[in-house]
């Protein structure tokens, strides 16, 4: 039997391919301005392309390998870096000021993601591999916060590349259905707002708050990049140093939860917590951190795709069906939140997009519903990022517990 070889196997070559794949699809979306990419985001292609490059064999060659020091390095070094970069911009007071009770509706939607994941897994787990609760936790990361949370949760739960692949497929299938629904909801604003008993002055007050709060990210200076690097790597180093001792202390003190708080989980939670604390300090004023973090996320996604195996996607139909059950429950929670807190359809749609689509989709929905809420929608999505690394692993463990595994 012929031995499969790779055309590009050097670490720098593999990293170049991952960066080129991530850049290509954003360039394609920018140049063509195709609405197609509003409904099927570049993320899916950035993940899927390396899957084929590392699995498809032509004349005995794969383009890139399934295993590389680059993939390991991304997990060890890039992951904590982009977590810090994205979380130091969280501004909870600002989003509460603009969105008001819309924040409570988002929290209801987040609860719907947690409950929906557990219920959907309880219904569908018998048709899925036994470790699929890890895939559910991974998808919960995306639906509570965003892609960064999905990748962090994948590492915390130790989900396989196959489970990550299922989460990515389900995430994008649901996105294709859910985003148009959120956009179309604007056409039923009057009927919805009457049903939800929205106060007559809510929209005016929200618009006034949005006009006062403008979040500008100014052009960075050279020294600010140095400050940012010092903060990011400093936080990563502190978490890396404390995690083994803290995980060991938990294992000795509370053995029952030792399997939940592994060294990897503890490290990521430490990074998350420290970054959120820093978001309340002048560190949050350092420019361009979210853009840099998001760029790293997409390179990381490409690396995850390169490690995946196509055979693991045979369970996709059952996983996607579970995701439809899941998103239906999230929708019910959003409606309940709207009625309980008397919140308008615009805020509800933006809040749901901040959960399910995160920072990539929330501004799209906001621009369609009420353009002056675009800055607030980004802040709302960042609030989801803040919660994702805590609640998504919890969702996975609760799903496992309910299924009796």
Q: Which residues make Cβ contacts (< 8 Å) with residue 165, sequence separation at least 6?
A: 47, 51, 305, 308, 312, 313
Torsion of CA 106, 395, 388, 172, to 10 degrees: -80
Instruction: Judge whether residue 251 has pLDDT over 50.
Output: yes
Q: What pLDDT does residue 140 have?
A: 96
CA nearest to 348, candidates 221, 188, 130, 127: 188
The CA distance from 46 to 172, in Å, is 12
Instruction: Judge whether residue 4 has pLDDT over 80.
Output: no
Please check whether residue 62 lies inside any domain of the structure: no
- For the chain, give the percent of residues with pLDDT over 90: 41
Q: What pLDDT does residue 111 have?
A: 96
Among 154-163, 174-183, 243-252, 359-368, whose mean pLDDT is lowest?
Answer: 359-368
- Of residues 382 and 39, more confidently modeled: 382
Please check whether residue 191 lies inside any domain of the structure: yes
Mean pLDDT computed over 158-185: 88
Please check whether residue 123 lies inside any domain of the structure: yes
Helices and strands: H and E segment counts in the chain: 19, 2
Q: What pLDDT does residue 212 have?
A: 53
Q: What pLDDT does residue 372 have?
A: 78
Please check whether residue 392 lies inside any domain of the structure: yes
Mean pLDDT computed over 289-300: 87
Q: What pLDDT does residue 1 have?
A: 40
CA nearest to 327, candidates 113, 103, 153: 113
pTM above 0.85, yes or no: no
Please check whether residue 87 lies inside any domain of the structure: yes
Please check whether residue 377 lies inside any domain of the structure: yes
β-pair partners for 62: 6
Helix (H, G, I), strand (E, B) or coil at 186: helix
Residue span of the structural domain in which 83 resides: 72-218+270-402
CA nearest to 88, candidates 224, 248, 205, 195: 224
Instruction: Judge whether residue 215 has pLDDT over 80.
Output: no
| Cβ 342 vs Cβ 197: under 8 Å | yes
| Cβ 328 vs Cβ 339: under 8 Å | no
Mean pLDDT computed over 46-72: 87
CB burial of residue 75 (10 Å; 0-12, 13-18, 19+):
middle
- Of residues 124 and 86, more confidently modeled: 124
How many domains, in total, are found in the chain? Answer: 1
The CA distance from 98 to 380, in Å, is 10
- Of residues 310 and 368, more confidently modeled: 368
Mean pLDDT computed over 271-276: 91
Please check whether residue 105 lies inside any domain of the structure: yes
Alpha carbon distances (Å) from 335 to 105, 140, 331, 357: 8, 19, 6, 18
Tokens of 237: 């180093």
* Residue 185: band (very low, low, confident or very high) from pLDDT cuts 50, 70, 90: very high
- Of residues 345 and 360, more confidently modeled: 345
The CA distance from 405 to 400, in Å, is 5
| Cβ 105 vs Cβ 345: under 8 Å | no
Please check whether residue 341 lies inside any domain of the structure: yes
Mean pLDDT computed over 104-115: 95
């Amino acid at each position: 039997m012929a031995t499969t070889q790779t055309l590009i196997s050097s670490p720098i070559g593999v990293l170049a391919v991952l960066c080129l794949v991530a850049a290509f699809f954003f360039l394609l979306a920018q140049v063509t301005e195709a609405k197609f990419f509003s409904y099927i985001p570049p993320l899916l292609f950035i993940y899927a392309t390396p899957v084929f490059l590392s699995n498809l064999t032509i004349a005995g060659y794969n383009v890139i390998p399934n295993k590389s020091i680059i993939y390991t390095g991304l997990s060890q070094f890039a992951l904590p870096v982009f977590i810090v970069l994205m979380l130091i911009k969280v501004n909870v007071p600002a989003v509460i000021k603009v969105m008001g009770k819309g924040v409570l509706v988002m929290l209801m939607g987040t609860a719907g993601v947690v409950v929906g994941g557990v219920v959907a897994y309880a219904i569908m787990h018998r048709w899925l591999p036994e470790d699929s609760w890890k895939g559910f936790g991974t998808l919960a990361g995306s639906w509570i916060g965003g892609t960064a949370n999905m990748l962090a949760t994948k590492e915390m739960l130790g989900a396989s590349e196959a489970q990550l692949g299922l989460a990515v497929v389900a995430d994008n299938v649901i996105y294709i259905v859910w985003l148009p629904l959120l956009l179309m909801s604007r056409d039923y604003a009057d009927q919805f707002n009457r049903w939800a008993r929205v106060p007559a002055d809510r929209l005016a007050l929200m618009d006034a708050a949005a006009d006062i709060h403008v979040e500008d990210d100014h052009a960075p200076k050279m020294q600010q990049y140095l400050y940012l690097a010092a903060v990011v790597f400093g936080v990563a180093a502190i978490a890396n140093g404390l995690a083994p001792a803290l995980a060991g202390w938990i294992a000795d003190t509370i053995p029952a939860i030792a399997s939940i708080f592994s060294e990897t989980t503890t490290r990521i939670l430490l990074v998350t917590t420290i970054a959120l604390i820093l978001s309340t300090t002048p560190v949050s004023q350092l420019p361009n951190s979210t853009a840099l973090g998001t760029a790293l996320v997409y390179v990381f996604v490409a690396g995850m795709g390169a490690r995946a195996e196509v055979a693991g996607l045979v369970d996709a139909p059952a996983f996607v069906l579970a995701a439809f059950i899941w998103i239906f429950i999230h929708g019910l929670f959003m409606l309940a939140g709207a009625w309980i807190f008397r919140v308008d359809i615009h805020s509800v749609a933006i809040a749901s997009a901040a959960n399910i689509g995160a920072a990539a989709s929330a501004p799209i929905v906001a621009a369609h519903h009420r353009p002056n809420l675009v800055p607030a929608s980004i802040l709302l999505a960042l609030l989801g990022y803040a919660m994702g690394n805590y609640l998504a692993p919890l969702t996975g463990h609760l799903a496992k517990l309910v299924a009796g595994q």
